[in-house]
Structure 1
Amino acid sequence: MPLTDAKCRSAQPGPRLQKLTDGGGLQLWLQPTGARLWRLAYRFDGKQKLLALGVYPTVPLARARQAREDAKRILADGLDPALEKKRQAQARANAPTFRHIAAEYVAKLRREKRSEATMAKVEWLLGFANAEFGDEPIRQIAAPAILKVLQSLEARERFDSARRLRSTIGSVFRYAIATARAEIDPTYALRGALTQVKATPRAAITDARKFGALLRAIDAFDGQPSTRIALQLLALLFPRPGELRLAEWTEFDLERAVWSIPASRMKMRRPHQMPLSRQAVELLGALRAISRGNFLFAGVRSPSRPISDGTLNAALRRLGYAKDEATGHGFRATASSLLNESGKWHPDAIERQLAHVEGNSVRAAYARGEHWDERVSMMQCWADYLDELKIPASRTVVAAVVK
């Protein structure tokens, strides 16, 4: 008579092993210790054999019956279910895990000389994935498992991190596909599954008179002299704050008035040269006299480490500018807006100075020039224009980027 869940639960152990039969060779062995073990009796190659199917109630009756049917199909194919189970277990043990492939992917990024900030971010993100399914064979990881870890970040309102994690996990899967250890990228199925949060542009002052007030406030900054100079250079050169914060003296040729930023520190992984205005060279000379170590802007505690990524924004707050009024990155938007509005400079020259990469592949093929001579003139005119913006509002302020 077939078993029921009630009978499986209520059966009491005795002094000897009891075998409760469900039919088709499926048995529940009730040990004297109280353990309940699923066994499947079958014949293969003329011999009586036994297959372990797990422990009740961890493996419920329905799953045990399904395992019995799976074993019958294996027998119908002329294979031994017990040997096939061992083969599958061995295959799982030898299968590359997500953690293993992710470590290879991280090593690949390091060989490509990605910045330490990028590597730290990638490894931090992969920590969430490894905690959830790092030890699973990569071929067995499906979209729902990935969505679970992404939604755990969204539940903490870390929407951008969830989006970046999806992209990073996808990169690991595509690396696995390229190395013949996976067939599909399950993150593709998650497009549109995450919460879409409208990006908030970084705050920037694009009104010339208001920007002049900010420049005057920076010149009067009473904090660390190096921090004041960093803010002044942000205004003059408008690099990405991280490019300036991590700048080293070996990158500067003050005689030629050129700052050469290596590809490893650029967002698009392309080396970038920046012409220096007379004002920028003077500031760098003053900074050189007070700097310590290789970094232009060394931290207070150790000259071997740069200032933190929050230092410049904190200085703007100290000057009285809220985070929705001005940010370190906002100097780029200010320069882009005012230079473009002047109408004097070619848009490509402005884009090259901002180290933007042309997204249109056809246009990029015809825009490989760096517009160097024009950029040299533009940066000197920009510096002169900032000097004029610093004139108090009671005096005439030039309204264009050139006299």
Structure 2
Amino acid sequence: MALSDMQCRTSKPKAKKYKLFDGEGLYLEIMPTGARYWRLKYRRDGTEKRFAIGVYPAVTLQAARIERSRLKEEIKAGIDPVLAKQERVLLASIQAVQTLEAVAREWHGKNAPAWDEGYAQTVLHRLEKYAFPDLGFFPLPMIKPMMVLHCLQKIEETAPEMARRILCLERRPLGHRFR
């Protein structure tokens, strides 16, 4: 029998956790503390698995059912929801540390020993002055061309020749940029 919103709201905690089943693997797990968690039980490669959908009442019964349907489609397509979620979390954590500033400082650190000391300082100073204030905290995939254009316009105001050289660098074929 399917759950009702009234059953979800009025469920009381007991000495041990217990489950209220909705159907098709979806259930509400009520903890002794009174916390209520939506879970989806499914089988993958002969093993029973559980997927945490969210916390009730932040995730409503209706939203949990919609998520159950979406997850069931993933399972039918051969995607394990637990592994897919772990992949999303890992990619998000990698992107969070792969900011423009982090990557640029790593690039500078690797190349600076081969450069003249004055040139290395100039490159770092320009990054700190023009790129890092506006773009430094963004993960690389989030940086859009209009954001770069804004930085170039700032450079153009104070150092037009440097802006011209940066634009020339951008127009060269990709293979030539890193030589």
TM range (shorter): 0.5 to 0.7
Residue 13 of structure 1 deviates from its aligned partner by 1.1
- 8 Å CA contact 1:30, 1:37 repeated in 2: yes
Structure with the larger helix share: 2
- 8 Å CA contact 1:97, 1:138 repeated in 2: no
Matched, 1:18 2:18: yes
Distance in 2 (CA, whole Å) between partners of 1:39 and 1:94 is: 27
Residue 2 of structure 1 deviates from its aligned partner by 2.4
Greater Rg, structure 1 or structure 2? Answer: 1
144, 148, 157: which is aligned to 1:171? 148
Q: Which amino acid aligns with 1:171?
A: V
Matched, 1:93 2:93: yes
Q: Which amino acid aligns with 2:158?
A: K
Q: Which amino acid aligns with 1:267?
A: T
What's the secondary structure of 2:27's corresponding residue? strand
What's the secondary structure of 2:64's corresponding residue? helix
Q: 1:360-398, CA deviations, whole angstroms, 9 ceiling, x for partnerless residues?
A: xxxxxxxxxxxxxxxxxxxxxxxxxxxxxxxxxxxxxxx
Distance in 1 (CA, whole Å) between partners of 2:160 and 2:143 is: 32
CA spacing shift, 1:31–1:95, aligned 2, 3 Å? same
Q: Which amino acid aligns with 2:85?
A: K
Residue 31 of structure 1 deviates from its aligned partner by 1.0
Q: Which amino acid aligns with 1:82?
A: V
CA spacing shift, 1:101–1:19, aligned 2, 3 Å? same
Distance in 1 (CA, whole Å) between partners of 2:96 and 2:79 is: 26
Pairs within 5 Å for 1:309-328: none
Distance in 1 (CA, whole Å) between partners of 2:20 and 2:143 is: 37
What's the secondary structure of 1:93's corresponding residue? helix
CA RMSD across the alignment: 4.2
Residue 66 of structure 1 deviates from its aligned partner by 2.6
Specify the alignment match of 2:59 in structure 1.
59
- 8 Å CA contact 1:102, 1:172 repeated in 2: no
Pairs within 5 Å for 1:315-394: none
CA spacing shift, 1:115–1:29, aligned 2, 3 Å? closer
Distance in 2 (CA, whole Å) between partners of 1:111 and 1:97 is: 22
Distance in 2 (CA, whole Å) between partners of 1:3 and 1:47 is: 26
CA spacing shift, 1:49–1:141, aligned 2, 3 Å? farther
Specify the alignment match of 1:39 in structure 2.
39
CA spacing shift, 1:139–1:59, aligned 2, 3 Å? farther
CA spacing shift, 1:138–1:73, aligned 2, 3 Å? farther
Q: 1:286-334, CA deviations, whole angstroms, 9 ceiling, x for partnerless residues?
A: xxxxxxxxxxxxxxxxxxxxxxxxxxxxxxxxxxxxxxxxxxxxxxxxx
Q: Which amino acid aligns with 1:86?
A: Q
Unaligned runs of 5+ in 2: 109-121, 165-179
Q: 1:262-306, CA deviations, whole angstroms, 9 ceiling, x for partnerless residues?
A: xx9x834439xxxxxxxxxxxxxxxxxxxxxxxxxxxxxxxxxxx
Residue 18 of structure 1 deviates from its aligned partner by 2.1
Q: 1:142-184, CA deviations, whole angstroms, 9 ceiling, x for partnerless residues?
A: 9xxxxxxxxxxxxxxxxxxxxxxx95xx11999xxxxxxxxxx
- 8 Å CA contact 2:100, 2:132 repeated in 1: no
What's the secondary structure of 1:34's corresponding residue? coil
